[in-house]
Amino acid sequence: MKESNEVKTLRSKLLGMELELNLLSKDLERFNFELTYNQKMLEATLENLDFLKSSNATISLNEYKKIKQQKKLIEMRIKYYKQKIYPLEQILNRKEDNHKKEMERFEYLYRMQFKSNILEFPCDGRKKA
C-alpha cells in the first residue's frame, strides 16, 4: 500500500524531533555532570581553605590567593551551569510533550491508511425493478 504524503512528512518531522531531543538530553547530561564536578571541587577547595586557616601550616600568600581565586572561579562556574540547566530542562520537557503528541498523530494516521474505506449509503427508498 502506498504511504500518504502526510504520513511521510510526519515521519521525517518525528525523526528530526528525536534527533533534537537526543542532542538536548546530551547537553543537559553534560551540564549536570559539569555542575556536580564543580560542586565537588568547591567542597575540596573549601576544605583546603579551612585547613589552611585552622592549622599552623606555612603557606605563601600567593598560593593562598590562588586558592581563593579558584574558589571564586568555581562558584562562577556553578552559577553558570545552574542558569543553563533549568531553561534547558524546560525546553526538553516541552519538546518531549510535542514529540509525544506528534507521535500519537502519526500512529493514528498510519493506522488509518490500512483501514478499509468502504462508503455505505443509506437506502434511498426506491425499489429496484
Q: What is the pLDDT of residue 93?
A: 95
Instruction: Check whether 121 has a pLDDT greater than 70.
Output: no
Q: Model confidence at 92, in pLDDT bands (50, 70, 90)?
A: very high
Q: What is the pLDDT of residue 116?
A: 63
Helices 61-114 and 5-54, interaxial angle, to 10°?
Answer: 160
Can you read off the three cell numbers belonging to residue 107?
500512529
C-alpha 55/C-alpha 108 separation (Å) is 70
The whole-number average pLDDT for the span 83-99 is 95
Global pTM value: 0.72
Instruction: Check whether 84 has a pLDDT greater than 60.
Output: yes
Q: What is the pLDDT of residue 124?
A: 57
